Amino acid sequence: MSGIDRRSSVRRAIRMACVVCFPSGLTVNGITRNISLDGVEVESNSVSGSSNRLPTPGEPGLLTLKFRHAGSPDSIMVQCQLVHILGNGMGL
């Protein structure tokens, strides 16, 4: 039964600039792959900060979604939790 999505919320393919900050000082700049009411997948090649340690599943963070509203830069900040890291992406 591959190909069946068992998530409780529908995912939407939305590409939006974002930043994820973890308490360790690690900052991840990326682009969203998809967003749902339950989470977001972020792809990134950029990891910077005072820590070389990758975050572990369950670690809290702060996700900032960046967009333009009425022609001006705007953003939304939400608390998040790392679910997984795979290659150049992470699930929150």
* Radius of gyration of the CA atoms of the chain, in A: 14
Query: Which residue is associated with the tokens 């972020």?
Result: 42
pLDDT in tens, 58-89: 999 999 999 998 999 999 999 999 999 888 89
**Is pLDDT at 1 greater than 60 in this prediction?**
no
Q: pTM of the entire structure?
A: 0.84
Residue 55 has a CB neighbour count (10 Å cut-off) of 20
Residue 5, both tokens: 């999505």
